[in-house]
């Protein structure tokens, strides 16, 4: 029988390894200006609520996770921005466009951030 300890070690380390990445990616989103418009989770909504400025990371993950080639598409949109002609969240966000972010984030960092965003858990249904 193969020794089980490498597996046990990997399972024990998984949450510990995920936490620093969460902190690192949250920091990257803040430093790159993304957090000015995007939140990690949608705010609880009431009848008088305004629309959120931009889709929350967990909403983006819920919509696109598992779609083929979607990370590349999202990275390109982050770098180049989204205009009125290629919106995806009409009536769901207050802001109608995303400015290009090529000045604030590199393609490499945007790729790491998008991969992390796509792994965000969707909030539990209310
Ligand atoms: C000035 C506000 C603003 C900033 C800053 C901003 N975004 Fe956005 N972002 C938006 C809005 C608004 C949308 C929704 C546009 C639409 O309807 O498609 C959006 C959409 C997105 C989407 C989803 C695109 C799609 O195809 O559905 C991703 C991913 C994203 N932003 C990531 C980022 C990242 C990463 C950064 C930081 C580098 C960033 N955004 C900075 C406003 C912003």
From the CA of 123, how far away is ligand 1's center (Å)?
Answer: 19
Instruction: Report yes or no on 56 lying in a domain.
Output: yes
pLDDT of residue 19: 78
Pocket test for ligand 1, best of 25, 31, 37 (most atoms within 8 A of CB): 37
Tokens describing residue 27? 């920091």
Instruction: Report yes or no on 12 lying in a domain.
Output: no
Instruction: Report yes or no on 1 lying in a domain.
Output: no
**Position 17 pLDDT exceeds 70:** no
Q: Name the H helices within 32-122.
A: 57-64, 70-80, 107-117
Tokens describing residue 39? 């939140």
pLDDT tens figures, 43-92: 888 999 999 999 999 999 999 999 999 999 999 999 999 998 999 999 99
SS3 98: strand
Q: What angle do CA 10, 13, 14 make, to 5 degrees?
A: 85
CATH number of the domain at 59, please: 1.10.760.10
Q: Phi and psi dihedrals of 40, rounded to 5?
A: -70, -40
Q: Answer yes or no: is the C-beta of 93 below 6 A from any ligand 1 atom.
A: yes
Higher pLDDT, 34 or 120: 34
Q: Which domain holds residue 110?
A: 30-38+51-126
From the CA of 33, how far away is ligand 1's center (Å)?
Answer: 10
Number of domains comprising the chain? 1
Instruction: Report yes or no on 17 lying in a domain.
Output: no
């Amino acid at each position: 029988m193969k020794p089980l300890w490498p597996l046990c070690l990997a399972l024990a380390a998984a949450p510990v390894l995920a936490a620093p990445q969460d902190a690192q990616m949250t920091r990257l989103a803040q430093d790159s200006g993304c957090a000015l418009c995007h939140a990690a989770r949608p705010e609880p909504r009431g009848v008088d609520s305004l629309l959120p400025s931009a889709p929350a990371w967990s909403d983006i993950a819920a919509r696109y996770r598992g779609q083929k080639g979607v990370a590349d598409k999202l990275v390109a949109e982050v770098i180049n921005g989204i205009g009125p002609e290629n919106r995806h969240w009409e009536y769901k966000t207050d802001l109608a466009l995303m400015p290009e972010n090529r000045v604030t984030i590199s393609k490499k960092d945007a790729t790491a951030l998008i991969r992390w965003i796509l792994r965000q858990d969707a909030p539990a249904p209310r």
